[in-house]
Amino acid sequence: MADSGSEDIAVIGNTDLTPSESENNLKNTMVEKGTNLLKRMEINVAEAEKRTGKNAVNMQETYTVYLVETRAVDATSEGTTPVPDSLWRRYSEFELLRNYLLVTYPFLVVPPLPEKRAEFVWHKLSADNMDPDFVERRRVGLENFLLRVALHPVLSNDKIFYSFLTEENGWKENAFETGFQAMADSRLKALNATFRVKNADKRFADMKHYGDELQSVISQLLRVRARAADRLYGVYKVHANYGRVFSEWSAIEKEMGDGLQSAGHHMDAYAASVDDILEEEEHYADQLKEYLFYADALRAVCRKHELTQYELEMAAQDLTSKKQQQEELATGTVRTFSLKGMTSKLFGQETPEQREAKLKMLETQIEEGEELVKERNTECEEFVKSAWVDIERFKEQKDHDLREALISYAIMQISMCKKGIQVWNNAKECFSKM
């Protein structure tokens, strides 16, 4: 099915580049690396709009829709920029797409969606989904999601994904027709497997553990960071009061007046500068959040492995037990305690005809069982193989992206320090004229 392509795709995640810049970067690396969707098509989530409509229970609701634009790459290179094709999608449709991908490609680390509700907020950001800042950040996140999928060696070739991008009305039906909803594993089943599996591949167990740790540490980091950002905001903003008071004070002073007044202006500038700083901080937080959610996707792959392994083990165990039964029946010995054994002891042995029939049934079952074990074994092996390839790909992507995130954080800090130095040097200058 999918061409797994070159695994070393250097996906540059959200740094301090604008979405269109980062998309360009993706495109550039794309052209070098693989045969992915983005080579043929530009993808944008260009706008967001509020809509109101009736929902499933016939009640009025307000929701946001996002404009997904696509444009064939070739057209642009010919010098003309045709109008892109576009359609509106709700967040829930993105969710549906992702669920489809999760079920259809359980061996892949599927890129995450931006959060449904604003979490880890600091006081300036509202936790309201209708808040324009939140909507904007979500727009960026959705675009990022589409780009990541489009860049993925396997996912980018998916027909339903293509349909999502290009067919306004038909895509849901197409998705449902694949019957993916029926294929989804129940949580209970997965949980059960996790506890009972005996010989899971150690690498996957380690990866799952890593996923747990990653999720825990990033959550902690996001929490701590949000609080610190809140405080920093307070510190800067209080300085605006200096501006106001210095200005009032300068009115009553003769020699000191000018110095005070101009120093006050710098204090105002200082207070105002925190808004930009914190916007960039928020950007950094978004990058971390993406990998917080990626951790979940990673763990999902590991859990699926456990499930397939468990089902293999179950099948094998079943087979063994059937073979044992066959042996017992054939030789007449009862090796293990069984109801059959008990009943035959209590109620007498079966007739030879009955035994014959049973043996025949067992033989069929054993045949089927062996088929099943073979099937499941192949399934398991293939899963392990493809999943591990994608996990390796994911690891490289993660290392690259997070390192870039740290670098851009450092750049942001540097810029903040430089601004601070400038403001306070100016203020000092003014104070010296007091």
Partner 1 sequence: MSDTILDDNASSLSIPTDIARHMLDLDEDDDLEVFSKETTEGSSFNASMPTSPGSMINQYKFEEEEEDIDTKDIFVLVDNPESHVTAIETYITYRVVTKTTRSEFDSSEFEVRRRYQDFLWLKTRLEEANPTLIVHPLPEKFVMKGMVERFNEDFLEKRRRALNRFLNRIADHPIFSSTEDFKIFLTADVGALTSHKKLGPGFLSRMGESVRGLAATVRGVRNRPEEFTAMQEYVEAFGQKISSVDKVTQRIVREQKEYLEDLKECAPTYTLWSNSEEELAEPLRGMASCLERCYQETEEQVKELNDNLNPTLHEYVLCTETLKTVLRRRDNIQAEFEAKTEALLAKHADRESIREDLNKMEDRLELANNALKSDWTRWKKVMRTDLRSAFMDTAEKNVNCYEKCLAVWESFLLSQRTDAEGTQVSDSS
User: Shortest distance, CB of residue 283 to partner 1, whole angstroms?
Assistant: 13
SS3 (DSSP) at 384:
helix
C-alpha to C-alpha distance for 308 and 196, rounded to whole angstroms: 12
CA-CA distance, 64 to 142, in Å (whole number)? 13
Least distance to partner 1 from the beta carbon of 413, Å? Answer: 5
CB atoms within 10 A of CB 279: 13
Question: Which of 193, 207 has the CB closer to partner 1?
Answer: 207
Binding residues among 48-87 for partner 1 as defined by CB under 8 A: none
Q: Is 202 an interacting residue with respect to partner 1 (CB under 8 A)? A: no
Alpha-carbon distance of 136 to 227, in angstroms, equals 22
- Contact segment (CB under 8 A) with partner 1 among 104-112, 124-132, 160-168, 212-220 equals 212-220
Query: 149 or 263: whose CB is closer to partner 1?
Result: 263
Q: Which is nearer to partner 1, 159 or 433 (CB)?
A: 433
Among the listed residues 214, 278, 285, 384, the single contact to partner 1 using CB under 8 A: 214
Query: Do residues 201 and 309 touch, judged by C-beta distance below 8 A?
Result: yes
Show the DSSP H helices in 253-331 as ranges: 257-331
The answer to whether the CB of 5 falls within 8 A of the CB of 153 is yes
| 220 counts as binding partner 1 under rule CB under 8 A | yes
Nearer residue to partner 1 within complex by CB, 212 or 379: 212
20 is an interface residue for partner 1 by CB under 8 A = no
Length reported for the chain: 434
Q: What is the CA radius of gyration of the chain?
A: 31
Label residues 172-202 b or e (16+ Cβ within 10 Å = b).
beebeeeebeeeeeeeeebeebeeebeebbe
Q: Is 31 in the site for partner 1 (CB under 8 A)?
A: no
**Interface residues for partner 1 in 361-420 (CB under 8 A)?**
398-400, 402-404, 406-411, 413-415, 417-418, 420
Among residue numbers 230 through 269, which ones bind partner 1 (CB under 8 A)?
230-232, 234-235, 238-239, 241-242, 245-246, 248-249, 252, 255-256, 259, 263
Cα–Cα distances in Å, from 191 out to 112, 194, 200, 222, 297? 22, 5, 14, 28, 16
If residue 234 lies in a helix (H) or strand (E), which one and from where to where?
A: helix 202-250
Q: Is 421 in the site for partner 1 (CB under 8 A)?
A: yes
Binding site for partner 1 (CB under 8 A): 10, 12, 15-17, 25, 210, 213-214, 217-218, 220-221, 224-225, 227-228, 230-232, 234-235, 238-239, 241-242, 245-246, 248-249, 252, 255-256, 259, 263, 398-400, 402-404, 406-411, 413-415, 417-418, 420-421, 424-425, 427-428, 431-432, 434
